[in-house]
A and B are shown apart, each in its own frame.
Chain A
């Protein structure tokens, strides 16, 4: 029993290391093909549009409600110490440093990562990837580079939108609902919130965006076994992306300080 469990953990660990190796190889491949002509501008714009523009609405909505929920809860806590004026800084720091990058990346994973993985997986199992290759077009350059770049570029931009909407949500609950003075909310927030906090969120956004796009591409591109295989690849990509976001969140946070 126990040895069996240890063996299973060992195999799991082995598979994990193998996957990390696969991701790293893919990253290098993508890097290499990013800088070779021809530039696939049209494909890049299509992905920027899909990953970024297409996610604005859900990220904005998540942002507003995260800000509102967080303001509401911290108000309840700070009320006990008559420190309601600190709600603004608390909300803004938490949002810019943590909530915006993590939640934006999760939303992009669900919306765009899953679609990316399914699309690439379907292209793989229906031999469309092979067809590209036989037509002397490099599939990494044609399919993967635009997707990975779109993740890298668009998630930080979405984080900015989340920041803005989150602050507005926090402002709405503190000032409009709870009656804090607008001046207090704004000056206190300005006092505490530094550009570095926003920067930290953006860097995290870029790291997460790169990671989730890479995972979706990796799983989709190497899918096999028909529709079932594509479904399985997408499930694996979603789980790995979500877990990876939280794990990376910790390490990027530590490295930045």
Chain B
């Protein structure tokens, strides 16, 4: 499947962000073609989540632009952001499920908010189908607190894709999952791209799954993208931080 690379779905330009004296991002440039999967690699605390939150307008940069599907979202207020966010689904690092709601209520939440025409029965069907996609069944009436970490994550995944968004942001979707579930999630990301043409941004620690799902890999180090390109290219990067990071995995295998 060759994605039309002409129009980037997400484009980040000269992005800078500091929290007080802590300069987290110091000039990020990143372009993510429509229909492609971009994996952001980097050490923990390097600012991957912060970068991702800028893409969906949860954080405002100190400087720079974030262009989503042709619109610069940086100056947008809540109303415009709401419109733009309907193109997105986001999977949070710790799932961020609503703990006062059951799994069913969590996953159906976006439907209830944005597909009010649906009947309860139809919602049940859609939720069931999405849960099946992430490999879960008969969990609808349970509460997030009663699920394992891996299951919570998959429920979060189901919630993120329930409205079939154009763009899905995954914040460490496989961290803390067992190898089989990790494979499952990787397949899901690949399927979403193949079948629905979804643009995906994936934050990862896991180099194996990064190389498996990525069209492009961007390596975040000390506030900058120090290397980016196709996985094969990145593997031969000369940047010392990238080499060190990759050797921890390729060294072992």
Contacts and interface: CB of A to CB of B under 8 A. Distances in A.
A135 B109 contact: yes
Interface in B83-108: 83, 85-86, 88-90, 92-94, 96-100
A164 B207 CA distance: 68
A119 B53 CA distance: 23
Interface string B104-143: 0000011001100000000000000000000000000000
Given A130-B92, A131-B92, A133-B81, 13 more contacts: A127-B94, A128-B97, A128-B98, A130-B58, A134-B85, A134-B169, A135-B110, A135-B113, A136-B86, A137-B82, A137-B113, A138-B78, A138-B82
A131 B78 CA distance: 14
Contacts of B56: 134
Contacts of A136: 82-83, 85-86, 113-114
A126 interface: yes
Contact of B94 (A119, A126, A133): A126
Q: Which 10 A-B pairs have the closest CB atoms?
A: A127-B96, A131-B96, A134-B90, A136-B85, A136-B82, A127-B92, A135-B110, A128-B96, A136-B86, A130-B58
B245 to A, nearest CB: 26
Q: Majority SS of interface residues in chain A?
A: helix
Contacts of B114: 136
Contacts of B97: 128, 131
Nearest to A130: B58
A131 B95 CA distance: 9
Contact of B85 (A126, A127, A128, A133): A133
Contacts of A135: 85, 109-110, 113, 159
A35 B99 CA distance: 28
Interface residues of A, number: 14
Contacts of A131: 90, 92, 96-98
A119 B98 CA distance: 11
A199 to B, nearest CB: 37
5 contacts: A126-B96, A131-B96, A134-B58, A136-B113, A137-B82
A117 B136 CA distance: 33
Contacts of B99: 122, 126, 128
A132 to B, nearest CB: 8
Contacts of A138: 78, 82
B93 A127 contact: yes
A130 B96 contact: yes
A135 B114 CA distance: 9
Contacts of A128: 96-99
A256 B113 CA distance: 43
Contacts of B88: 134
A185 to B, nearest CB: 47
Contacts of A134: 56, 58, 85, 88-90, 169
Contacts of A133: 58, 81, 85
A123 B114 CA distance: 22
Contacts of B89: 134
A151 B88 CA distance: 34
A136 B83 CA distance: 7
Nearest to B87: A136
Given A136-B86, A138-B78, A130 B110 contact: no
Interface string A48-86: 000000000000000000000000000000000000000
Nearest to A132: B98
Interface string A117-152: 001001100111011011111100000000000000
Nearest to A135: B110
